[in-house]
Structure 1
């Protein structure tokens, strides 16, 4: 049986614990919110959520492009909502971002040639004819970049009503490419039937 004195001691301890917990919560409330990092590949961090031109995007998946034994770049795909199939991703004409971080130095010719090879391998002749002008403009953008150094960040954004915008380390490269079919052709480089890296495709779809 608990005596009055023991009861008072227990009540006092509970009060002190509640006060301490409240103090901790108040202290935490004043701390800055640190964005959660959903993925880290090859030492490159991809935030779980970002905002592009006012549009909130979520990380759909991220992985590393390898060639033979070399790590070439880390890539993250951001969409307005997570999708697990290529068909759903290509059908959604909503804001999107492809973020590429170079893991080794490449010339603009090497990078551009690899992009174009991936694009051509995953589109048929009729599709290429429809986007020939934008493909040419895209190639000119790469030609304007002297080289890709380790740590350089290339982003390819799709914004409805505007088009595809390429940025290098946060600076615009070239003009806007208006056709959504062209952005889909870029996506197919990694998500098409003949992706440049078969191991990267499932990672971008969130399967790994």
Structure 2
């Protein structure tokens, strides 16, 4: 990436290197592609108030946070919601996941109502301290904010937890250099 570049390109998708959320400037901590077998499913970018190189540091970072996902293939939105719920459950302590259930249900309802996410469509999940988590589909806020702070932390653990959706994507979201993909 050239010095002074304003965007980072991942899988043909441009991520702004900085965004404004809740009146604060967030930096792109990292971005990468989610693979399922050999298929590219989506790109994801993690925005924080400051760079973080470990899952613990990313989760502990204060202020607003955003995860932004752009679809690289069509996917059933209800199925994606179920996968996210499973990812949250697999990566969160039981008590924390229990507190995030109302938000998890709300996000599942948002995806179920959408029915399908097409190639090129996007969604973001933004956390604002003292305001909660908002879900945006194609740049528009959908529904009310999710008040439980455990929800956003649980959501981040889908990608940053001990059983991430994609280990290579976890490393990229944490700003680490990509490792060569080994195809079987």
TM-score (norm 2): 0.90
Counterpart among 120, 143, 146 of residue 151 in structure 1: 120
- Note the residue ranges of structure 1 that are not aligned, 5 or more in a row: 1-34
More off after superposition, 82-91 vs 181-190: 82-91
Count of residues in Structure 1 that have an aligned counterpart in Structure 2: 174
C-alpha displacement of 1:38: 4.3
SS at match of 1:164: strand
Counterpart among 178, 185, 194 of residue 154 in structure 2: 185
Aligned mates of 2:111, 2:97 — CA distance in 1: 18
Counterpart position of 2:133: 164
CA contact (8 A) 1:93 1:180 kept: no
Aligned mates of 1:130, 1:50 — CA distance in 2: 29
SS at match of 1:137: helix
Counterpart among 3, 15, 34 of residue 65 in structure 1: 34
Aligned mates of 2:98, 2:43 — CA distance in 1: 30
Higher relative contact order (CA 8 A, sep 6+): 2
SS at match of 1:83: coil
CA contact (8 A) 1:134 1:182 kept: yes
C-alpha displacement of 1:184: 0.4
SS at match of 1:199: helix
C-alpha displacement of 1:41: 1.1
RMSD: 1.3
SS at match of 1:131: helix
TM-score (norm 1): 0.80
Counterpart position of 1:124: 93
- Compare CA radii of gyration and give the structure with the larger one: 1
SS at match of 1:101: strand
Aligned mates of 2:100, 2:124 — CA distance in 1: 20
- Note the residue ranges of structure 2 that are not aligned, 5 or more in a row: 178-184
Counting only pairs closer than 5 Å after superposition, residues 80-119 of structure 1 correspond to structure 2 as 80-119=49-88
Aligned mates of 2:46, 2:72 — CA distance in 1: 17
Aligned mates of 1:37, 1:147 — CA distance in 2: 31
SS at match of 1:144: helix
Aligned mates of 1:44, 1:53 — CA distance in 2: 24
